Structure 1
Amino acid sequence: MAILCTFALSSALSVGLSIRSASRAQHHAAVLQIAARQRTLAERYVGEVVIAREGGRSDPASVAADLTRSAGVLLDGGAAPSVNGDDDGIAVPGQKGALARRQLAQAQRLVRDLTATGSAMLSHEPLARVQITAGERLPANPRLRMRVLAALTSNVSLNAARTIANADDRNISSLINLQIVLGVGSLLLSLLLGWALIRTAHRQTAHFRSLVSSSTDLVIVFGLGGCRYVSGSVSRMTGRTEQELLAEGVFDVVHEDDRDIVRAASTTGEPRELVFRISDASGASRQLEAHVSDLRAERQIRGIVFNARDITERLQLEQELTRQAFHDGLTALPNRALFRDRLDHALTRARRAGESLAVLLVDLDGFKQVNDSLGHDAGDALLQEVAGRFDSLVRTSDTVARFGGDEFAVLLEDADEHQAVRSADRLLAGLGEPITVAGRELVLGASIGIVTASGGSESAEALIRDADIAMYAAKEAGRGHHKLFQHEMARELGELLGIEHELRLALERGEFSLHYQPLIDLLSSEVVGVEALLRWTSPSRGNVPPSRFIAIAERTGLIVELGAFALREACTQAVRWRDQLSVAEPPVTWVNVSAKQLSAGGFLGTTRRILKETGLPPERLGIEITESALVEPGIAGDRARAELEALHRDGVRIAIDDFGTGFSSLGQLRHFPIDVIKIDQSFVQGAQNDSKDATITSNLISLAHALNVVAVAEGIESGAQLHALRQFGCDHAQGYLFARPQPADEVGKLLARSSIDVDGSASATA
């Protein structure tokens, strides 16, 4: 009986030990399976966030919940969520091993960091606000950070699973040894239970191999004699069978430059992290990131394990993001950030070597007109052609960058002022060659600012600023100029910006007004028109002459807004005079229009709108332009002339102001629809004493009559000048002899009389 009891007890103990061994093996497999699912959930969450960020349909919140729940189950126990909806949930108890719990707690923190980063990306919050709890050093790029966190989550979970599996294996070994000690009497039963245990272990091992073979990770195990095992994913990627890859075969697909380091890691287990290249089935190179584990002491493996992932697409994405961050998307040239970085390094080298360098800032002339008239596609094509030309005109050691719009920058290393000026000349000459865009040949100009540094304490930002100031000075000099930076340019720019600011405030505060000067018919003495003249009364500067602020308004672009104000005010006043004087046809009101105002575009629409809103007939409005506006080259000039011709067809009159001082040709005058030629006062005032001025004035009047237009003499101040102009047959005149520019009320009184005693004025000043 005692023997039977002992045998029964031994049998019971053996059965109990076998059951516990099987349970630990099942626990081993379950943990591995949950860890594998953890990897799948992490990768899926990254993909869901990216799709949602790009506007696609996805549910990152649901995946995040499953991922968080799965991490908690691994640590504290419970039922893990399914992944694909058709697999069963897996239940495991909480982990008790200190090392495994630390690893799983870290995995849980990584999941928390991953989902927090994903939430920040979806809500467009800066990553700086995301509190990192796992203590890992992470990249600043949101997508890259999520991929790194997903990879870390997977690796830490699998490492924890391996720790648990190792503990289970040790427990199983101890239990088997204890079974042998139970005695010979229970040998048969122990063998039977051992067989059952081995069968269970084989099933779990087969399940583990199934998980490894279906994973996207590449697993390679090295031992004595080379490669002992490769996962199916390695065979699928390389297009070779497992037998072809075993032993030394796996090294045939490793890039020849990486074979030595891979071979060293396969024999020593170092380094623990490794990036190497292999050839895929098509012969293309793929980048692998491998975690190397030295498991030669592990009885189940006894080898060095490479757990690798294909990171080719991730590296390509990183390279593309870097390229986009530092290069212009249209021209592929370096952008401002990369130019600034290269300039910083060039300054450091120049200081060390005692050399000089130069920065050129280039602004294209007329690019806006190309965009407005031919469209943005044509403008983009033009910028690409200009970028190519600039890049071909500098040395390979120099840098050409696009700052945005039509602004380019050039960095010339080891170059002095003379070399910088020659480079600027080459750039301008390169632009002088016609460029064909949208079926049209265009010739561009540019304004170039040049600044040099000779190894002093100059900063990159200061050099770019000074080059910009010099470029502004070049634009002031006209198309196709370059200027070297001078310190007085900064002072002039400061003054210019100050007046520009005051001009803007003056428009808002209503500090501008119009004075009017009459035009007199020299035969009838009637007032046939008034010229509107802009006046600025500044609280700080007093009465500012037009010669002081008109040029600045043109430089800064304020002339468009200022000109529109003058046009509206003049038209409104003309209608007011018409109503006050009760006349059907009041004198023509003449308004000066700048060439800059015309070239900016939109003048036709502005004028038509103002005429409609004020109710002034087009025939009662006159536009005075200079010869420079008439001969403006390029697309802007063509558009300006077309708009003036359209206004003339509407009935608006056109006058050429300051005639004789410009460069218009007779052909242009003959074909352009003008009504009046206003002879510049420099000829008129010299006509009484200088025979050359008298001849020029007489010929200009004759030219006007030959063109069948009215001749108007400007700036008449004496009776002698009036007498000479009458002798020459001049039609109309204006000047201080008849009336100075006056406010609208005073001119209204003059218009009420409808005429001026021309001869009385002449005798009074004779």
Structure 2
Amino acid sequence: VWVGVPDPETHYVVPLNICGYGRDYVSRVRISTDASVPEGRGPTGTALREGRIVINPDTRTNPAVEPWREEMLRRGFLSSCAIPLRRDNRTVAILNIYSGVPHMFTEEELELLEEIQRDLSFALERIEKEKFMKMTNTAIEKGHEWVLITDEEGTILYANHVVEEISGYRREELVGKNPRIFKSGYHSREFYRGLWQTLRAGGTFHALFVNRKKNGEVFYLDQTIVPIPVGREGVRFVGLGKDVTSEKFLREELTRLKYLDVVTGLPNREGFLAGVELALQKDRDLSHVLFIIDVVDFTGINQVYGTTVGDRVLREIGTILKEALFKRDIVGRIGGDEFGVLARGVAEKEISSLTGKLLSALSGAFEVEGRTIRLSVNVGASLYPRDAESATELIEKAFLALAFAKREGENTCRFFSEEINSMVRGYFRMRDELEEALREDRFLFYFQPFYYADTRRVAGLEALIRLKDKSGRILTPREFIFTLERTGLIRDVEDRMLEKLREFILRHRRRVTVSFNVSPKSFRDERFVEKIREVSKGIGRFLVLEITERLLVENQNYAKNFLEEVRAAGVKVAIDDFGTGYSSLAYLESLPADILKIDMQFVHKIVENPKSLAIVETIIELARRLGMKTTAEGVET
């Protein structure tokens, strides 16, 4: 006799236990559950698949046992039967019995064999339930949750060790008692009436219970009570809870921290918004200016100098702002690299000088931990009550002004005004035109060749996106890219242009390398890599993806994974505008790139400025040693 189980990976039956004469038989044969092979069409395989008892009446004549006949006869196994064992309505094991007598197992013995099957299957299910109960009991006893069980009258039947630890009562003191032993007097009769109505209707009850320990101390229990039917014995109520006393006492501290930026000690966005709203309510008759200040490329500071220095810079900015303003003014850190200022009671004639004061204070260089950090900012501003009369609207309009300030370059400030309103209307007009252009397929490529310096042969083409407006005029990215990125249309346009790029390469018999720029939005969108894979099939080696240095520095781990996936598709990677951001040898070593594009501000000066020449030569040598190629931008002749 032996018991085996099917192996789902190999489709063979694995023996678990063997007893009786001829035990080595099991190790000498292979039995499958796969009906497509002879080893799977015997009694054992058939019984496992079909879930029924299968009898081998005579080994000598039964064709179904042909694969094992020789081994069976050698041991005198003249008949056999296979009994499937079931649990949870599925076959989980097989019992094989062998006899030295032919026709030992007949239809007459089938009823007895089925009884054996039922008994063993019942035993398996019982064992499984007992194992489950043992695991459940262990989990309850070893767990960290309050577990209390009562009958339907509320008499305590069980309490785990957590109940003892929290309440101070021993288990023996609780069993047979009512949970009112924990009653603190805090809850009303309506509370308990609702509790019992919910439970007796079969519902689950959840609440924060204010209870009392054996020593009289109050504790807060976040508890869920679940009714569980137990047949003839009625219902049991199981209470599952967590002691939240510490959280309760920490609530006031958490409320304070909710409105505080822990790095600078200034109000955070929520705290700043609340402070501005209160100030507006108090001084409705005065004029106020709300500034949003954005630190340019703060991510680069973190990457180059570390987050410790970055946090010191943020604290220094907070100090500078408070020193530049009056005590009545409100300063807050409202984002990772953004600060908010409400200058209260500012006359219109003072606005220009105040703005200049803020820009001057933040645009200089200052020392942090022995390092000279040079900051640049952009500022957006809105006026109360001219632009808006609520804190939320003031901030929204200041952010809109900030977006336009960023377009004008570093250390600029823009106010929300009629001019900006006009620009906003232009923005929406441009958005509609871009949507229409996408539908009408009016985006196109201009191809700019680049050359090998030694042979002057064409090395490849840079694909430059252009837009043809309704009149046929060609627009450069400077005129539409800002709106394209802001509206989110950039992804749809890039997808369309990538398809065009693929068509262009496939259309030309003489394959040529084509480079294209990736927008910041697409770089941060993980789905973009899938598009690259799709477009590059069969032509990856002719594609070069250009990405700016600043984007790479923002999140080097993400950038590394992104570029590795792009290169895995066969596409080369070029680092654009190299030398203009926070260039770091560390990231060059770790990031997978093929080409460095030297920014034209260095290239234009190499003839007249020896330092620029030295920088360019250094970049070229560095790239060569790192196994990269270089491309010089802005070579006019």
TM-score of the aligned structures, taking structure 2 as reference length: 0.48
Q: TM-score, normalised to structure 1's length? A: 0.41
Which of the pair has more CA radius of gyration?
1
Structure with more strand by fraction? 2
Higher relative CO (Cα under 8 Å, sequence separation at least 6) belongs to 1
